[in-house]
């Protein structure tokens, strides 16, 4: 079995984010429906308790699962899916850099507008929106797991200014970084007490 370095939690996060960077690396199978999907599938999300992960479609099928009609995990990756997956991994590896669409498109060997179009077709958002989401997730992770200040986290997560950081964070998490920090502290206290 390959790719066993992904933990359940990591894979769960990827499917919640419909992350196309992981298509072909693992498959999500849902016990209640008997269906398996790509990580990027945008069908309704299963309950965590009903999910199993497999590292090949054959393995999922051997366990009695049928391929999802929407994301067609048994159809192989289309050329566009391959490119989008490659770009998604590039963004995940380079989110700290001030990347512009033109540079990302250069990396993929496409024009910016064509990259924007296929990325949106595959993921429902543009590469820059996807990059913003990666940065916000990194920032949220740092808020939860580090002692860094919000200002340090802003730059550590690849934002170019505190105002960009604040705006992006609030848009995606529906809380300011400061309020997110407070809510985490409260949740931690609740966990410690129960
Ligand atoms: Zn699916």
- The pLDDT of residue 5 is 72
Partners of 26 in beta bridges? 23
Model pLDDT, residue 190 = 46
Query: Residue 191 Cα, ligand 1 centroid: separation in angstroms?
Result: 34
More confident residue, 79 or 35: 35
- CA 81 – ligand 1 centroid, Å: 14
Range with the largest mean pLDDT of 5-19, 112-126, 144-158: 144-158
- 8-67, what's its fold? DNA Methylphosphotriester Repair Domain (3.40.10)
Q: Which among 57, 120, 114, 56 is positioned nearest to 88, based on CA atoms? A: 120
Q: How confident is the model at residue 121 (pLDDT cuts 50, 70, 90)?
A: confident
Q: Residue 27: which H helix or E strand, with range?
A: strand 27-30
What share of the chain has pLDDT > 90, as a percent? Answer: 68
Q: How far is the CA of 36 from the centre of ligand 1 (A)?
A: 6
Whole-number Å distance, alpha carbon 40 to ligand 1 midpoint, is: 8
Distance from the CA of 88 to the center of ligand 1, in angstroms? 19
Q: Positive or negative, the Cα torsion across 145, 10, 167, 185? A: negative
H or E segment and range at residue 36: strand 35-37
Place of tokens 């079995």: 1
Q: How far is the CA of 112 from the centre of ligand 1 (A)?
A: 28
Higher pLDDT, 36 or 57: 36
* CA atoms of 29 and 47, how far apart (whole Å): 11
Who surrounds ion ligand 1 at CB < 5 A?
37, 41, 43, 68, 70-71
pLDDT digits (tens, 9 = 90+) for 133-186: 999 999 999 999 999 999 999 999 999 999 999 999 999 999 999 999 998 765
Correct CATH for 130-193 of 3.40.50.300, 3.40.50.10490, 1.10.132.20, 1.10.10.60: 1.10.10.60
Q: What is the mean pLDDT of residues 106-128?
A: 92
The pLDDT value recorded for residue 25 is 87
């Amino acid at each position: 079995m390959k790719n066993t370095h992904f933990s359940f939690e990591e894979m769960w996060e990827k499917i919640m984010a419909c992350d196309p960077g992981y298509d072909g690396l693992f498959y999500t199978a849902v016990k209640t429906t008997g269906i398996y999907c790509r990580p990027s599938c945008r069908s309704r999300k299963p309950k965590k308790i009903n999910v199993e992960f497999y590292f090949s479609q054959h393995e999922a099928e051997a366990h009695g699962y049928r391929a999802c009609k929407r994301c067609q995990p048994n159809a192989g990756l289309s050329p566009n899916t391959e490119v989008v997956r490659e770009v998604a991994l590039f963004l995940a590896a380079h989110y700290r850099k001030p990347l512009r669409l033109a540079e990302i498109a250069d990396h993929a060997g496409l024009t910016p507008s064509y990259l924007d179009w296929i990325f949106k077709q595959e993921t429902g958002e543009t590469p820059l929106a996807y990059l913003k989401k990666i940065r916000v997730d990194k920032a949220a992770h740092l808020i939860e797991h580090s002692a860094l200040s919000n200002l340090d986290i802003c730059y550590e997560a690849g934002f170019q200014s505190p105002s960009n950081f604040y705006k992006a964070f609030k848009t995606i998490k529906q809380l300011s970084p400061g309020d997110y920090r407070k809510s985490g502290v409260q949740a931690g206290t609740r966990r410690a007490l129960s």
